[in-house]
Structure 1
Amino acid sequence: MARCCQNFCKEFKAFALRGDVIDLAVGIVIGTAFVNLVQSLVDDIITPPLGLILGGVDFVNLTIKMKNFIYKNQPPVVIRYGKFIQTIISLFIVLFAVFFVIKAINRLHHISTKKKPKPENEELVQLEINQEVKVLCEIRDLLAKQSSVVR
């Protein structure tokens, strides 16, 4: 039992300390912070002026109250479509941010692959490699014949 627990602890430690897991954890923390930032941007900066333009509407208070027909002594069911609109706005902001990050990464990748120097006389280099391979194959075959004759 103790040995099983030790093996499990060793495996878990090896798993947790791998670079992929740590990178994933850092990405989750940064992503959560980014989502909170975007949520604040939408809730506190974008939707109040948008609501003002639409006639002083507060998106948080946009709701539909439905009478509870099943349990008449319970409060009504509230559908908060204003919060849903804010969430959609947040989604579009996150999508734009991710789009621009991916676009920048692709551009950097394109620039880095474009500037790689190509070897001069690439065909000549390939021809030399092919000739070396042929010579090595011939040497291998000769050695194989000699070892089979000696036996």
Structure 2
Amino acid sequence: MLKDFKEFALKGNVMDLAVAVVIGAAFGKIVSSLVDNIIMPLVGILLGGIDFTGLKITVMKAEITYGVFIQNIVDFTIIAFAIFIALRLLMKLKPKEKPVEEVEAPPEVDPKEELLKEIRDLLKNEQTK
């Protein structure tokens, strides 16, 4: 069982996934900081200093903080857009691969030519005997 786990854990796909999760978490922190510290204060200024996180409704003793929900939706939208732009830039920087049709295939050999080559090889073998 330990051998199977070791084999599974060291496969390329699992290692690639682990690296992607770590890099994604780090990138998420950068984008969250961008949203929290730069973009949202500017949005607040443009909207007249509104801070969504303070919006709430009190029903009896329960507080419904719908402003935090709105803030999270805005954060998600900005983060998703930032990731979209980053991936788009990375795809442009990635070297282009040839489409499958453009990959050079070996030239087709005429069947008659192939038969002639076989006859030639057989004749050579008989002469060397």
RMSD of the alignment, in Å? 3.3
Gaps of 5+ in 2: 119-129
Whole-Å Cα distance in 1 between the matches of residues 75 and 53 of structure 2? 14
- Select the residue among 79, 87, 110 that pairs with 1:131: 110
3-state secondary structure, aligned to 1:65? strand
Does 2:70 match 1:85? Answer: yes
3-state secondary structure, aligned to 1:21? helix
* Deviation of 1:106 (Å): 4.2
Q: Report the TM-score when normalising by structure 2.
A: 0.65
**Gap change, CA 1:105 and 1:51, over 3 Å in 2:** closer
Question: 1:96 corresponds to which residue?
Answer: 81
* Deviation of 1:30 (Å): 1.3
Give the share of equivalent positions with the same residue, in percent: 40
Number of aligned residues = 115
Whole-Å Cα distance in 1 between the matches of residues 87 and 12 of structure 2? 22
Q: Which amino acid aligns with 1:88?
A: I
Does 2:45 match 1:60? Answer: no
Matches within 5 A, 1:136-147: none
**Gap change, CA 1:37 and 1:66, over 3 Å in 2:** farther
**Gap change, CA 1:110 and 1:29, over 3 Å in 2:** closer
Whole-Å Cα distance in 1 between the matches of residues 38 and 20 of structure 2? 26
Q: Which amino acid aligns with 1:42?
A: V
